[in-house]
Each structure stands twice: as structure tokens, then as C-alpha cells.
Amino acid sequence: MSTTLAATPGYRAVFAVREFRFVFAAHLFSLLGVVVSELALTVLVYDLTRSPLLSSLTFALGFLPYLLGGTLLAGFADRYPPRRVLVVCDLVCAGCVALMVLPTTPVAGLLVLRCAVAAVAPVFQGTRIATLADILGEGELFVLGRSLLRILSQSALLAGFGAGGLLLTVVTPRGAMAVTAATFLVSALLLRCGTARRPARASAAGSRDGIGATWGVLRDRRIRALMLLFWVPPLFAVVPEALAAPYADRIGASSAALGLLMCAMPVGTVLGELLAGSALSAATRSRAVLPLLLAGFLPFLLYALRPGLALAAVALFLAGAAGAYTLGLDAWFVDAVPEERRGRAMTLMTAGMMTVQGLGMAGAGLAAEFVPVHTVVAGAGVLATLCVAALALEVRATAPRASGGGTAGVQATERRDAAERAAASG
């Protein structure tokens, strides 16, 4: 990577890195495979069983194995060369989906294969995040690269289910899954041909600790505090989306209005990240992490007023836009985790995020059985704000003087920004 490129901030500079372009394209194909296969499998299971419970279980199985895979398999992210891990994970997913296509595969087999895909997902995602730091460095380009992958993920969720539904009008559910098996193979090919071979981060001797080493990551107080800061907000952020259908029914909104409620938060997240990544300096994003986290759940309190469709959508949009805190948090996390443990830490982080989202959805549904929906969402906002405030104090207490989490870290980031601008102008 040239000095000029490294000193040029912005999303364009990230796309100028050839390896990142391959990772980005592979991420797109992999996402399409995941979203379309989830939708097609849900339809297939319902067609075979006519059971709403088993059909909904296919979605739940997309969350539950994350914790198991993230703890048992996290060591692979550092123990083996990262490119090999990424390619093998894609091939495993392609193989599992290909087996789902077979007419002889029973429903129980479909659900087991669904679990297998979900179990390898955190290893793939954690390895990819750690590899981004190898490709882009640990500074500004890494943060923006992570942001671009998140933006792509949110956009794929918005478009993927629509595309999957359209595909199912043309082909059968098994035919749609055959298409997704091909997308995983394309992702594997892009990663194999477009990324460099790098050695494993951890030595063989240091990688035999298994689950103990994975949970050992959390023994570091700083890493533990940052990890919780990644896990706790999503636990509460999914509440209004999980309850969007019953809330829309309570206020007499149409199906189209339900779609608006479901899209409001992802759209806010995408726009918030784009604005923070393109208009704010690294130092400003670092300063904004805790304020955005503390303010991010305040829009949920509007639900206490039982708002109509427009106000509810605005509240969710604002809550999504506050998700721009993740850019600064990414920088703190990659600074805190030693390189030889980075893949393991990133795998555990992504596994925890997906697991708590599943728990948050289940908890929201359970609470709504006894409490009005608008009260559940408002209560989630209050509880989330209190939890985040407690974590913010812990993060400040653990911030080393050279970290982006404290004043000295912000000043250091400002000095780096100034040096980068000077290098670019020179």
C-alpha cells in the first residue's frame, strides 16, 4: 500500500485497495446466499410440514448455533492461515446448501444442515474482520472497510428478502437454494484468487488452549468492556423490529406500513454510517462513541406515547443513525486486542452479537405477551440506556492513555489525522 493511499481518508481510498475489492465482492455473494437460503428453506420446511412452528424454527436456528460455533470453533480463526479458513467456511456452506437441495433430505436433516451453516458463520465473519486489519492496516482504512461491509450487510437485508421472494416466484425453494449454493462457491473463488496467502496468527503451540483460550480473551478487563459494548446494544435494538408486526396491528397500520417500520432502522443505520465515515474525522468519531451510545435508545421512549406510523418510523430511523458509534468502537477494539488473538476475539464478538439478537427477539415476544407492545419498546429504551451508561463508565475506567477511548487517545488520533493531511498535501 502506498504512502499516499494510506494518507488519503475516505471510502474511495478503501476501494482503491485491490484485496478489499475482492473481499467486498465475496461478502456480497455470501450475503445473498445466506439471505435467500434462509427464505427458501423457511418456505420449503413449511411446504413439507405445514407447521408454522417448524417454519419459524428455521429462522431461530440461524441465531442459536452462533454461540456454540463461536466458542468451540473460534480457535480456527487464528490457528490456520486466514485465507484457508475463509475458503473452507464458504465451501462448507455451499456443501450444506447443496445437500438441502436433494429431494431425499428429510426435514430433520434440513434443520441440522441449517445449524451447520450457522455454526461456521461466526468463524468466517471473525476471520474476515481480522483479515481486514491485515489488508487495510489497523487505522482509518480498517475502520472504513468495516463500515462498508456493515453497510452492505444492512442493504442486503433490505433487498435480499425482496430478491429472494421474487426468485421464489420463478423457481422452487430447492431451486432457489441451488442458486445460493453457487453464490457460496463464487465467494470462495473470489477469496481464493483475490486475497494473499498469509500465515496463521497464532503458533501451533499457543493455539491448543481450545475453549479456555477463547473465553480467556474476556479475562482482559478492557477487551471485556468493549466486547460487552458490542453485545449489549443489539440485545435491545432488535426489540422494536421484533414487535413491528403486532405494533402495526395495534395502530391499525397496513402491510405496507409494516414494511416501513421494518426498514426505518436499517436505513438510518446505513445513512448514519455513511455520514460518519465520509464527513467525520477519526478523532471526532472516537469522541462520539459514548454520546451516540447513550443517545441511541432515547428515541425508543417515544413509544410510551403510542406514536402513529410516521413518528414511530422517525424514532427508529434516529435510533438506527446513532449506530454510527460502531466506527469509533471498531478502532478501540482492534487497538485493544493483540494481533495473535485477533481472529479468536473477532469470532467471539460476532457470535455474541448474533446470539444476543436472538435472545432479544425472544425476550421481546415474551414480554409482549404480558405487557402492551408500546410499553415493552419504551421499557427496552430505558433499560438499554441504563446498561450502556454502566458500560460507558467501565470503558472509560479501562481506557489506557494511548487508547482512542480517552482524551490522550483522541489527541493522538488528531495528530495522526494532521500528519496524514500533511502527507497528502505534500
Give residue-wise pLDDT tens across range 64-90: 677 777 777 777 888 889 999 999 999
Give Cα 145 to chain centroid, integer Å. 13
Q: In whole angstroms, what is the distance from residue 374 CA to residue 382 CA?
A: 13
Report residue 171: phi and psi, to 5°.
-125, 170
- The label of the residue with cell 449506530 reads 323
Q: Which helix (H) or strand (E) holds 308?
A: none
Q: In whole angstroms, what is the distance from residue 265 CA to residue 188 CA?
A: 31
How many CA atoms, within 13 angstroms, populate the side-chain half-sphere of residue 164? 25
Q: Tell me, yes or no, if the two domains 11-196 and 217-426 fold the same way.
A: yes
Query: In sequence order, what are the residues at sequence separation of 6 or more whose Cβ sits closer than 8 angstroms to the Cβ of residue 55?
Result: 42, 43, 45, 46, 49
- The label of the residue with cell 483522541 reads 410
Break the chain into its structural domains and give their ranges: 11-196, 217-426
The verdict on domain 11-196 having CATH code 3.40.50.300 is no
In this prediction, residue 1 carries a pLDDT of 40
Q: In whole angstroms, what is the distance from residue 364 CA to residue 360 CA?
A: 6
For 46, other C-beta atoms within 10 Å of its C-beta total: 16
Give residue-wise pLDDT tens across range 333-379: 999 988 888 888 888 888 888 888 888 888 888 888 899 999 999 99
User: For 280-372, where are the alpha helices, taking DSSP H only?
Assistant: 282-295, 309-321, 325-336, 342-368
Q: In whole angstroms, what is the distance from residue 346 CA to residue 333 CA?
A: 9
In this prediction, residue 119 carries a pLDDT of 86
In this prediction, residue 38 carries a pLDDT of 80
Query: In sequence order, what are the residues at sequence separation of 6 or more whose Cβ sits closer than 8 angstroms to the Cβ of residue 404?
Result: 282, 286, 328, 331, 332, 335, 410, 412, 413
Q: In whole angstroms, what is the distance from residue 415 CA to residue 410 CA?
A: 9
Question: From 3.40.50.1000, 1.20.1250.20, 1.10.760.10, 3.30.1320.10, which CATH number describes the 217-426 domain?
Answer: 1.20.1250.20
In this prediction, residue 332 carries a pLDDT of 94
- CA nearest neighbour of 85 among 346, 331, 330: 346
Q: In this structure, what C-alpha cell is assigned to residue 86?
A: 475463509
Q: What is the pLDDT along the chain (426 residues), one digit of tens a residue?
A: 433 333 445 888 999 999 999 999 999 998 888 888 887 888 888 888 887 667 666 766 666 677 777 777 777 888 889 999 999 999 999 999 999 999 999 999 998 998 888 888 888 988 999 899 899 987 889 999 999 999 988 887 777 666 666 777 788 889 889 988 999 999 999 999 999 999 987 654 444 556 666 677 888 899 999 999 999 999 999 999 888 888 888 888 776 677 778 888 989 999 999 999 988 888 999 999 999 999 999 999 999 999 998 999 999 999 999 999 999 999 999 999 888 888 888 888 888 888 888 888 888 888 888 999 999 999 999 999 999 999 999 999 998 764 444 444 444 444 444 444 444 444
If phi > 0 it is left, if psi is from -120 to 50 it is alpha, else beta; for residue 286 that is alpha
User: 3-state class of 346 per DSSP?
Assistant: helix
Give Cα 371 to chain centroid, integer Å. 30
- The secondary structure of 209-233 as a DSSP string is TTHHHHHHGGGSHHHHHHHHHHHHH
Say whether pTM exceeds 0.95. Answer: no
Report residue 169: phi and psi, to 5°.
-80, -15
- CA nearest neighbour of 404 among 226, 146, 216: 226
